[in-house]
Structure 1
């Protein structure tokens, strides 16, 4: 099983280092936009996998599905090569100074659901090729300098439910089909409504429900309706003139149903998109706390100065849409434990799912082990022990006290957060239930981080509580060693790439001093360290049935029942080692030093 695990590890790693045409297309996009030196600095032409780049979100197969770059100050043009991103769902570049035309190649974006290019300086006609985007739901091109007619081809888009073309130089007739969608805005153009339907001509954004009943036409026919139209027209004209004089401002428009109300699931709040946009400074890159297979996390501040962490989920589409998402949110919200991260709210739009958590002052265990800045405190040994026990108790609660049980699927030091008292708080639990993991291949089905994934989960795609136990065991090794689960620099020393194998080797050689994190400066109890290592190795056995449950792990960390389990493990490990060496002689495990240093995440860029 261990040998199979190694073989399964190599396949996805090899795929990552191969040339990525998507990265080439995005790099060309960066060049054409005239990005300055400090903009998109991690969009590196030599790094062919773009899934780790800021503002880029990928699915589980490393396909680029979202590119979001609002208010960056770009003054270049749009690259036609963007049209090569056939898996792209969302392209959002509002609030820049982009010039030139919308490339006709955008009509090749067969997976696109949202195209948002408002508040730029685009010219030319709206390409008729956009009528090929059969999945397009949102088209926002307002506040540009577009001219010509609205293409009739847009009438063929049955999924389109939000089209905003306000404040351009468009002429001709508005296709009748566009008046039937949930939300539209054509104000600030020289357009002919040409419709005989009793519907608002220029815009229906003021209709919060997005309905088009006949009584709406009756109201507009009344004196009050006429006055309202005059007022709306006057405001529209004023804004249009401001635009033509060069005034530009940021305009916030919430999607249908996303006003300032709150919908409660217990103590949960339903946030409006606008609130989270303002709190995170339009999801600025400078506010990114981290990124992973489930999305990026942004630091935010609410109007009452409450600090929050906002996670923008990727690959959230599950059967039942928003209703299914809300059911799963409710499930997560009822999992309340001192060692679990509390969900305080959420936000949904047609193209976004966001979760809101309290901000953890001391960030993650991974940060405190490996990424802390000079002058910041090192995690001492008593704190590491407390973190280990707290994490175990949090996972025990998810497995044995939640109904239905919740499997984390990505247990690692980066997902264990630290509050102001350095108490362990497990985050990201249950998120695998919020996304669609019904895929055909192992690499898209499995969610987690290479080096932390149990061998049976990697080879079959089937997870259980014992896959979390395996990940917890690797997390214990991270706490002891301070090292990553995969470290390719060890190849230079002809050592094991996997932290688990590296530790096993040193345990066999009775070299505990070489295992322990040097940042501890020998300030630890060697017997306590040895016991934690023993628990970690019991948790990471190749066969899931041999691993302890999390309740057993808690008891062992508290000093009960470890000695007996460890004695049994030692004999099993001797037999397993002999079998592995026999297979190793048959299949020469080569030296591949080309791999990326960081642990490769099967669920997307983190």
Structure 2
């Protein structure tokens, strides 16, 4: 017993020391960046744990993410950052940080993402960055780094995205880096382009793959499908009466009073300023529209491109609620895969929100509306979009306090920045969730085809409704098709989920993949994404994975076990149904019951 209590005491002391060390490292980081108390108000050295600080994410009692993008910091990077040995994501892009990268960054052995783009960093890139075994994303673009790319980068076996563009780098690029899925070395003095067999920028659309399916998919019939088919028929009749409009059907049952909020340090724009920026809200500048109003492309006086969301009918309590909710939630959630708010404008008759302009618009646009002269959204980018979106939703569900349910996850609400990185936007329907309160609501909000069956039938929303919407979005990425589309041939299903299941049952896996990919994809990756999508869209919300589990499965951990578990549960249910059939109808009727299964390896 004494040994047991000694162990507990040592574990407690180790936890205390870890928290103390992390707090000191982060506070030193704040001082080195010249961050003011207004910028990081609750970063206090006398607090025991930094896990309550803004823009810091923890797992247990260890810091795993620090996201401080676009703060305008003018200081330097602290070597003490290297003490954050559990850190997975460090995002400091779009600041004015000077000096070099400390060699101590090589101690961040858990780091998967380092984003320092668009700063004023100088010196050589430290070779110690090549010692990061889990690093997947490295973005040092738009700085003033000199010297050569360290040879140690050849050892970054997990790397799938590296951007060193627009620095002063020279010399030879390690051959291994040309094998990374996405790379960009342009705007330097490196040996590539005309003087090399490799290009300075990746063309991931050329990475083709085989088409022969190697993974079997087992499909279970679900009660939610029947409800969805019924809804699809009703929508079909409604849409025909509406002259076959192609716009998505949006459901919004008004109600619910939301508290008003303070706008904090967001920039307040003058009406005239946004009127000029959008050319008097010219229709030629419309980027999109929905139940709230329209989004316009604009250019501010300092030449910054922005997206201006203009709410119509602002006297309506529902519009005001949506406006206030979006400001509130987007100010709480700060993550590289979540859209950030620049500012707002309010007048007695107008409500406008101002966001950074996303150069590559939305995933939905890139899948279905791109112009003939624009590139197809290639398979490698679709995989990165799936992962980035999952990380953004994971942050909303598991790292925000209180957690946030988006409630309208779809390809149209996932935006793409200049590097085609996924940014989850449109928080107009999102909801803060107090974990002590019930998540039952009388409102059904979202886009048909993406709404989870339990949400449609009971009005109960939870993070698992987002998981369902995410699963449908994965199918959008694979197929390039809408979640619900009545223009499909009569023999096909209106709902994308049912169509995919039908094609899988018939063994037509290749018919599922977007034809615009022109065979440039890996069939194993397709099967992986479909399997995750089917796990996410199970009828029972309890059986769906969490978004953190989805992230791990996309990164190659845990999918096989989860899929096998689901297959066994499916087989058990089928055996139970067959036995029940025998009891009720006898052996001769067994031929009428068929299991839905795809043959093939697992």
Q: What TM-score comes out, normalization by structure 1 length?
A: 0.51
Which residue in 1 is equivalent to 2:498? 501
- Which digits, 9 at most, give the CA deviation of each residue in 1:510-560, with x for residues without a partner? 321111111112111111111111001100111111100100100011111
Structure 1 residues 194-205: aligned runs within 5 Å: none
Alignment partner for residue 548 of structure 2, among 544, 548, 551?
551
Q: Does 1:352 align with 2:575?
A: no
Secondary structure of residue in 2 paired with 1:476: helix
Which residue in 1 is equivalent to 2:379? 381
Structure 1 residues 514-529: aligned runs within 5 Å: 514-529=511-526
Greater displacement, 381-390 / 503-512: 503-512
Count residues in correspondence: 342
Structure 1 residues 334-349: aligned runs within 5 Å: 334-349=332-347
Mapped to 1, the partners of 2:250 and 2:545 lie a distance apart of 35
Secondary structure of residue in 2 paired with 1:293: coil
Mapped to 2, the partners of 1:571 and 1:350 lie a distance apart of 60
Q: Does 1:465 align with 2:435?
A: no
Structure 1 residues 88-107: aligned runs within 5 Å: none
Alignment partner for residue 286 of structure 2, among 275, 285, 288?
288
Structure 1 residues 20-99: aligned runs within 5 Å: 60=252
Asked whether the 8 Å contact 1:5–1:459 carries over to 2, the reply is: no
Larger of the two Rg values belongs to structure:
1
Asked whether the 8 Å contact 1:369–1:479 carries over to 2, the reply is: yes
Structure 1 residues 319-334: aligned runs within 5 Å: 326=324, 329-334=327-332
- Alpha-carbon RMSD across the aligned residues, in angstroms, is 3.5
The change in CA–CA distance for 1:563 and 1:324 in structure 2 (over 3 A counts) is: closer
Deviation at 1:500, TM superposition (A): 0.6
Q: Does 1:310 align with 2:308?
A: yes
Secondary structure of residue in 1 paired with 2:372: coil
Asked whether the 8 Å contact 1:369–1:482 carries over to 2, the reply is: yes
Deviation at 1:317, TM superposition (A): 6.8
Secondary structure of residue in 1 paired with 2:389: helix
Mapped to 2, the partners of 1:372 and 1:486 lie a distance apart of 19
Deviation at 1:402, TM superposition (A): 0.9
Q: Does 1:452 align with 2:437?
A: no
The change in CA–CA distance for 1:298 and 1:391 in structure 2 (over 3 A counts) is: same
Mapped to 1, the partners of 2:229 and 2:318 lie a distance apart of 37
Which residue in 2 is equivalent to 1:427? 425
Q: What TM-score comes out, normalization by structure 2 length?
A: 0.52
Secondary structure of residue in 2 paired with 1:458: helix
Unaligned runs of 5+ in 2: 1-222, 255-261, 433-439, 582-602
The change in CA–CA distance for 1:470 and 1:562 in structure 2 (over 3 A counts) is: same
The change in CA–CA distance for 1:344 and 1:387 in structure 2 (over 3 A counts) is: same
Alignment partner for residue 561 of structure 2, among 561, 564, 569?
564
- Which digits, 9 at most, give the CA deviation of each residue in 1:347-402, with x for residues without a partner? 22233322110000011111111111112111111111111000000000011111
Secondary structure of residue in 2 paired with 1:296: strand
Unaligned runs of 5+ in 1: 20-45, 63-262, 435-441, 583-606
Mapped to 1, the partners of 2:251 and 2:508 lie a distance apart of 41
Mapped to 2, the partners of 1:418 and 1:278 lie a distance apart of 25
Mapped to 2, the partners of 1:430 and 1:325 lie a distance apart of 7
Which residue in 1 is equivalent to 2:264? 265
Secondary structure of residue in 2 paired with 1:523: coil
The change in CA–CA distance for 1:321 and 1:476 in structure 2 (over 3 A counts) is: closer
Mapped to 1, the partners of 2:374 and 2:357 lie a distance apart of 19
Q: Does 1:540 align with 2:545?
A: no
The change in CA–CA distance for 1:444 and 1:270 in structure 2 (over 3 A counts) is: farther
Deviation at 1:507, TM superposition (A): 1.8
The change in CA–CA distance for 1:474 and 1:449 in structure 2 (over 3 A counts) is: same
Alignment partner for residue 365 of structure 1, among 339, 354, 363?
363
Mapped to 1, the partners of 2:431 and 2:292 lie a distance apart of 11
The change in CA–CA distance for 1:452 and 1:327 in structure 2 (over 3 A counts) is: closer
